[in-house]
Amino acid sequence: MLKLVDKFRSRYALVLIMLILLMVATLIPENPLYNLNWALLSTLLVFVAILVFFWSFERSQVSSKLVAFIATMSALAAVARIAFSAIVSLQPATFIIMICAYVFGPQIGFMVGAISALVSNFFLGQGPWTPWQMLCWGLCGVLASFLAIGQNEFRLGRFTVMAGFLGLFYGWVINLWHWAAFMYPLNIKTFLAVYASSVVFDVIHAIGNMVFSVLFGTTFYHVLKRFKKYI
Amino acid sequence: MEDGNKKMLAYQFKDNLIYKLHPLTSMIFVGVVFVLALIFSHPAFLLGLLIPVGVVLGAAGNLMQGRNYIKFSLIMVLTIVLINVLFSRAGTTIIYRGSEIPLIGALEISLEAILYGLGMGLRLLVIISVFCFYTYTVNPDKALRLCGRLGGKSVLAITLSLRLFPLMIKDFQRISEIQRCRGVKLSTGSLWQRAKNTLPIISIILLSSLERSLQLAESMQARGYGSGPRSSYDRDLWRPRDYIIIALSIIALLLGIWSALKGWSAYRYYPILEEISGLDCVLASFIAIILLLPAILNWGGKKWPL
């Protein structure tokens, strides 16, 4: 069984690597793949990336308690997102995803992030941004979980810095799609212009994250840590 | 719970043919238009996608709700046009040559860059309106049930999360009311004071939802979750119109791919605008007519009811 899992995993890794190589190939002039459709390729890449995480979650031995926990935390993050949706980029969801990931590890973190993006969009509206948001928030979870490696208690300082960084990171990844799909020529100038046009929103997101971390970080951590014992 | 969820969702059932389509049919339609929008760069072809999607959206009765989407996307279109105009140097028909600007260099606005920006804006508009169609006309529960066969646990988590959402909003309202009764000020006072008073509410919601998630897991276990292979059933009706729409959507997709391979659906903006040939327009309108089918069927169903 384990061998089979490994086989599948390496197959997915292969698909990912091939897609990335394909994207790189479109950048090199004078080969048949030059200038292939980036908008389509990047969307494909994101879909495959999300599938890899979902698939590895399907394969893992997960108890019903954990499934219920993921659903609960995603719903909480979605509620928090919609409650603040009037202020475009103030999103407490990122903080909730991060703290789940910090306590429960990268896999749960990714699932909570991806599902909360999907579910909140059923209320706010689905769009081409949905897979990108799923991936971004999922990755926020994965990155936040790395902070907890070798830690037995909550480090508010580190966590807050990370929260600020992930606020910026989220906007940066979303911008990448915006740039690849709609800009011409794809060069450093248009790249910087796209990033400059979103800088206000990214900074609001980052500051919001840091404030939420300071306000709720310690409480949430202790609650989740205690809950983890039941699972 | 059921009722609250229904009111809050963007999806609201309306009594017309498009809402009664099998969810997979609508999803295939959306998928085909999305892929075609990413493949095409020719403005005539993109227009040939936007028009049918707009008409289908109107036939489903969602044009008014779609306005919010359009407003949002217009801002995005504007930034796209602006950045393309300011930074693109590939065009040859210069309309305006301005002075030196730091970082950007000499300002040079070309006709090609403006039209390229508008063309890409058109693409974004197609994509956003087709997702708008999805959001308003496909029941999320039915769509998730379809996916349930592909993956058990993750889809279950999504469905549960969708169900827990309205419950949590009710919790928030209930707990805030109780806090108010106890004299905690939530709507008056300084922002800092209010935030400080809301803090315990958030923690209580966290605690009570975690409690509920344990109960949920216990009840799942009691009903035999995970004790054997997952069973699934299909209650959605397949009608002949579903088959027709799926078949024609796939034909549209193949036509689109074929014209992309032939290079007809591509459009060269730089260095000088390409001429739009009659063949392109005919092909684009042909694809548009194929994709109009759901709206035509809806109209026909109303005109000649069974």
**Is B278 near chain A, with CB under 8 Å?**
no
Given this model, what pLDDT does residue A1 score? 45
Give the residue-averaged pLDDT of A19-43. Answer: 65
CB-CB under 8 Å, A118 with B90: no
| CA-based nearest distance B233→chain A, Å | 20
- Most B CBs within 10 A among A8, A56, A64, hence the mutation to make, goes to A64
The residue range of the domain holding A187 is: 39-228
Size of interface A-B (CB pairs under 8 A): 181
Q: What angle do CA B270, B272, B277 make, to 5 degrees?
A: 105
Distance CA B271, CA B116 (A): 11
A43: in domain: yes
Kindly tell me if the per-residue pLDDT of B21 is higher than 80. yes
- The number of folded domains in chain A is 1
Determine whether the interchain pair A126/B209 forms a contact, defined as Cβ–Cβ distance below 8 Å: no
**Partners of B105 in the beta sheet?**
B101
Bigger pLDDT: B260 or A97?
A97
- How many percent of chain A have pLDDT more than 70? 84
**pTM greater than 0.90:** no
Q: How confident is the model at residue B2 (pLDDT cuts 50, 70, 90)?
A: very low
Determine, yes or no, domain membership for A14.
no
- The stretch B266-280 carries a mean pLDDT of 81
Average pLDDT over residues A144-170: 90
Which chain B residues are within 8 Å of A71, Cβ to Cβ?
A: 156-161, 164, 213, 216
Q: Is A1 part of a structural domain of the chain?
A: no
Between residues A78 and B199, which one has the greater pLDDT?
Answer: A78
pLDDT tens profile A78-112? 988 887 776 666 788 999 999 999 999 999 999 99
Tell me what pLDDT residue A12 has: 63
Residue B1 has what pLDDT?
Answer: 38
Q: What mean pLDDT is predicted for residues B109-133?
A: 87
Query: Does residue A12 form part of some domain?
Result: no
pLDDT for the residue numbered A23: 67
Q: Is the pLDDT of residue B130 over 70?
A: yes
Q: What is the mean pLDDT of residues B14-39?
A: 90
The answer to whether the beta carbons of residues A59 and B54 sit under 8 Å apart is no
Say which of B79, B127, B212 has its CB closest to residue A197.
B79
Q: Could you report the per-residue pLDDT of B282-304, keeping only the tens digit for each? A: 989 999 999 999 999 989 888 88
A2 inside domain: no
In SS3 terms, chain B reads as: CHHHHHHHCCCCCCCCCCCCCCHHHHHHHHHHHHHHHHHCCCHHHHHHHHHHHHHHHHHCCCHHHHHHHHHHHHHHHHHHHHHHHHHCCCCCCEEEEEEEECCCEEEEEEHHHHHHHHHHHHHHHHHHHHHHHHHHHCCHHHHHHHHCCCCCHHHHHHHHHHHHHHHHHHHHHHHHHHHHHCCCCCCCCCHHHHHHHHHHHHHHHHHHHHHHHHHHHHHHHHCCCCCCCCCCCCCCCCCHHHHHHHHHHHHHHHHHHHHHHHCCCCCCCCCCCCCCCHHHHHHHHHHHHHHCHHHHHHHHHHHCCC
As for the ipTM of the complex, it is 0.85
Nearest to A183 among B38, B84, B164 (CB): B84
For residue B87, what pLDDT is reported? 77
- Tell me what percent of the residues of chain B surpass a pLDDT of 90: 26
Assign residue A110 the CATH number of its domain: 1.10.1760.20
B90 has pLDDT over 90: no
Mean pLDDT value across chain B:
85
Q: What percent of chain B has pLDDT over 70?
A: 94
- Preceding omega of A185 cis (within 30 degrees of 0): yes
Distance from CA of B286 to the nearest CA of A (A): 23
Distance from the Cα of A101 to chain B's closest Cα (Å) equals 16
Interface of B with A in 2-31 (CB under 8 A): 8-11
B207 and A CB contact within 8 Å: yes
Say whether B209 and A127 touch across the interface (CB within 8 A): no
Q: Which of A100-104, B58-62, B196-200 has the highest mean pLDDT?
A: A100-104
Q: Which of B21-30, B76-85, B93-102, B137-146 has the lowest mean pLDDT?
A: B93-102
The pLDDT assigned to A187 comes to: 75
With beta carbons under 8 A apart, name residues in chain A contacting B160.
67-68, 71-72, 75
A111 with B157: Cβ contact below 8 A: yes
Check residue A9 and give its pLDDT: 61
Identify the weakest region by mean pLDDT among A159-163, B274-278, B287-291: B274-278
Indicate whether A87 belongs to any domain: yes
pLDDT beyond 50 at A74: yes
Per-residue pLDDT at A7:
55
Residues from chain B that touch A199, judged by Cβ atoms under 8 A, are none
Give which of B83, B150, B197, B269 to mutate to test A binding, by max A Cβ within 10 Å: B83
Domain-embedded: residue A6: no
For chain A, say whether B68 makes contact (Cβ under 8 Å). Answer: yes
Per CB-CB distance under 8 Å, the chain A contacts of B164 are 71-72, 75
Higher pLDDT, A189 or B114: B114
pLDDT over 80 (residue A4): no
Residue A185: pLDDT over 90: no
Q: Is A117 contained in some domain?
A: yes
Return the residue of A nearest to B164 by Cα.
A75
For residue B306 the two structure tokens come to 């069974």
Taking the CA of residue A72 and the nearest CA in chain B, the distance in Å comes to: 6
Stronger pLDDT, B189 or B139, i.e. the higher one: B139
Q: Give the model's pLDDT for residue A73.
A: 95
Searching chain B, which residue's CA lies closest to the CA of residue A227?
A: B210
Distance from CA of A151 to the nearest CA of B (A): 23
Judge whether residue A31 has pLDDT over 80. no
Considering only CB atoms, A119 lies closest to which of B90, B151, B158, namely: B158
Q: Which pLDDT value is given to residue A139?
A: 92
Q: Which of B76, B172, B206 is nearest residue A223 as measured by Cβ atoms? A: B206
- Give the residue, A20 or A161, on which the prediction is more confident: A161
- The reply to whether residue A182 touches residue B124, judged by beta carbons under 8 angstroms, is yes
Q: Report the C-alpha gap between A124 and A132 in whole angstroms.
A: 15
